[in-house]
Amino acid sequence: MKKILNMALSAVLLTGCSDFLEEDNRAGISNDELYVSAEGYQTLRVNAYSSLRAIYEETPRVLLAGTDLYQLPRNNTDPIYDYVNLTPTNADVKTFYTDCYTVLQALNTAEHYLSIAEISDGDKGLYQAEYNFLKGFVHFLLIEQFGGVVINDEYTQSPRTSIPRATLSASYDYVIAKLKAALDGPLPQTTKDGTINKDVVNHYLAKAYLTRGWDLGSNDDFAQAKAYANAVITSRGDLKYSMENLWSIDNENNDEVIFAIQYDASSLANNTSGNDQEASFGPYLSGSERGHKGSRTSLYPSWSLHSWFGKDDARYSATFMLTIWEFYYDYYQNKTNPEQNAVTAVYPRAWDKAQEMFDEYKMLVDGEANGQFTGVRMAEADGETLRTGVLEFIKKWCPEFSNADITKISNAKASNGTNYLRVYPFIEHSSDPKANEKYWRSDYASDFCQPVIKKFDMNKIVTWNQRQSYRDVVLATLSETMLLYAEACIGREEYSSAEEYIQKVLDRPGNVKPGGSPLTVSLPNTSRQAALEEYLKESGKELAGQYCGRWPELRRTKMLEYMFVKYSYDVTEYNLGSTPIGQKTYRPIPQDAIDINDGLTNNDQNPGYNS
């Protein structure tokens, strides 16, 4: 699909279908004349695929915000994070809703012209199967957020202004029928070019049945979810990559990737029209003058997410950038020799010696951290020498530096002229997680205040911009399929089987640090809620930052408010109360969508959003 995208770039690059048709008509060629040819029709097929970028090119916060894993960043009061002031006019919700229906229009157009295209019957069957999947997929995204949805399955060249909202049950029936129709088509079992295949369809059939099982209370749906997830697992086999290798930029479209939105440098209009996934998860890393990656600071990984990783879990260092060298991308350019390369920030973690490290850190900063985590500079940008004891502290608490002759680390004014060293230990000295997090978050307004997620990084700076990335946006992975199977088992109260499939994820090659103990899981069998809590910790660690969606995961399992109140410090910090979500277990239907659709009234609005 990347090759196809590049061939058709000049015709359909990230444009809405209506704009594309208008441009062609200006040339005096009718739509029927253009799309009857095989080459002309390919522009519609490519547009159907590339239109998906609109949903994901800027992080869709509706999939992630307002959960246990990600918290309100500095200088941001968007109610998508806290629910209290979330209304039908919210911009994040409206953008997601609009983008999904824009994609559906592109799909309806491609499907409409398929009948007249001069292509083989075999290709027509293949493309129809692709469109069936994509229609089911996008409607499913809408169901996850809004419940029963307006089903848009009809091509039109003029606005449709009276489409009623389907019931939740009917919405699921539509999605599952479309996905099954795709599975019955001539799709290959698997592909390497990003096109739809049977593994993709089976993954989302598993997810759709699983979600319906929770929403409608159907035990049979959980059994169906297991069957479809097992079909993917049987096709793909066991996990084969370490977490670091799985997310390497040199290993895109690997055997564990089920479905991804395809990007390529040559398919972008310019170097700021990629996606921003690499920029979204962590604090600001200063401006372009510092040479670090541009950070959007839209989603800060929570203290809770960090705390769930055990000391032997190698996924922690594969998920987070725990040392920022002189320039952020030095990590990928083999400029990581502490005896030669300068360091900007380090994030030590002491695990079972957390109190000892915390006490030494307080002494190191002369009491400045007494009661507040200041994250003070260990050396100032104007060339001051390091504070006494900094090198000793780093060598003791950062294992990668323990045996190094650290000479360049003290270079307060490095080759970029502005380098300075910061040390931000992970705070976990108290038995009270809320006390730890209050301390840890107290310097949230500062640059570098916590590690960023690195899984989606480019390996170089193209330009200092949040949307410089031309990496694929991975939506589904094999480990998620295994977790879906485990979740379906929990739905059926088959806790030992759920443990078995979570263990498959934990047994990923390279998951255990050298000399460490194997990773294991034990689910409480006292209640589904207790089992789900432990399961959600495991899925949170494995899928951190991925657009498969933490918010839909918590919503469907009916664990949204429980996990948010227990593990998000935003609830305490902003006095949100014991039940901040209440009836708001779906996102609001955008008011603009209600206003322009005669088939909707304010009575169709989701609970909690009618004042």
Average the pLDDT over each of 22-31, 56-65, 124-133 and give the range with the smallest value.
22-31
Whether pLDDT at 382 is above 70:
no
Lowest mean pLDDT among 14-23, 96-105, 307-316: 14-23
Q: Rounded CA gap, 400 and 383, in Å?
A: 25
Q: Check pLDDT > 50 for residue 26.
A: no
For residue 392, being part of any structural domain is answered with yes
395 pLDDT above the threshold of 80: yes
Structural domain boundaries enclosing 412: 285-441
Q: What are phi and psi of 194, to 5 degrees?
A: 90, 0
Inside any domain, residue 333: yes
- 440-493 pLDDT, tens digit per residue, is 888 888 889 999 999 999 999 999 999 999 999 999 999 999 999 999 999 999
Structural domains of the chain, count = 1
Is the confidence at residue 74, as pLDDT, over 80? Answer: no
CB-CB contact of 151 with 104 (8 Å): no
Q: Which two tokens stand for residue 82?
A: 């806290």
Please give the Cα distance from 271 to 285 (Å, whole number): 20
Average pLDDT, the chain: 89
Q: pLDDT value at position 10?
A: 29
pLDDT in tens, 100-149: 999 999 999 999 999 999 999 999 999 999 999 999 999 999 999 999 99
Q: 11 pLDDT band (50/70/90 cuts)?
A: very low
Return the structure tokens found at 375: 């994250």
pLDDT for res 188: 98
Question: How high is the pLDDT of residue 413?
Answer: 55
Return the pLDDT at 446: 86
Percent of the chain with pLDDT over 90: 73
What type of residue is 610? N
- Quick one: pLDDT at residue 4? 42
What does the longest C-alpha to C-alpha distance in the chain come to?
A: 77
Q: Is residue 431 part of a domain?
A: yes
- For residue 388, being part of any structural domain is answered with yes
Q: What pLDDT score was predicted for residue 509? A: 98
Strand pairing category for 70-71 and 300-301: antiparallel
Are residues 408 and 417 in contact, defined by beta-carbon separation less than 8 angstroms?
Answer: no
pLDDT at 418: 62
- Tokens linked to 452: 């960023």
Asked if 567 and 304 touch (Cβ cutoff 8 Å), the reply is yes
pLDDT at 28: 57
Provide the pLDDT confidence category of residue 410 given band limits of 50, 70 and 90: low
Mean pLDDT calculated for residue range 29-56? 92
pLDDT of residue 371: 54
**Res 78: pLDDT:** 84
- Checking if the pLDDT of 304 tops 70, the result is yes
Q: What angle do CA 149, 150, 153 make, to 5 degrees?
A: 120
Q: According to the per-residue pLDDT averaged within each range, which of 266-275, 357-366, 556-565 is highest?
A: 556-565
Asked if the structure places residue 363 within a domain, the reply is yes
Q: How far apart are CA 456 and CA 425, in angstroms?
A: 24
Pick the residue with more confidence: 99 or 360? 99
* Res. 235: pLDDT tops 80: yes
pLDDT of residue 587: 98
In this prediction, residues 281-299 reach a mean pLDDT of 89
Whether residue 2 is predicted with pLDDT greater than 60 in this model: the reply is no
Asked, for residue 601, whether it belongs to a domain, the answer is no
Share of the chain above pLDDT 70, in %: 90
Mark 400-432 as b/e (b = at least 16 C-beta within 10 Å): ebeebebebbebbbbeeebbbbbbbbbbbbeee
- What integer pLDDT is reported at residue 262 of this predicted model? 95
Task: Judge whether 379 lies within some domain.
Answer: yes
Task: Give residue for tokens 């319906």.
Answer: 212
Inside any domain, residue 292: yes
CA distance 419 to 392: 20
Give the model confidence (pLDDT) of 417-436 as tens digits: 566 788 899 999 999 999 99
Q: For residue 268, how far is the Cα from the chain centroid? A: 21
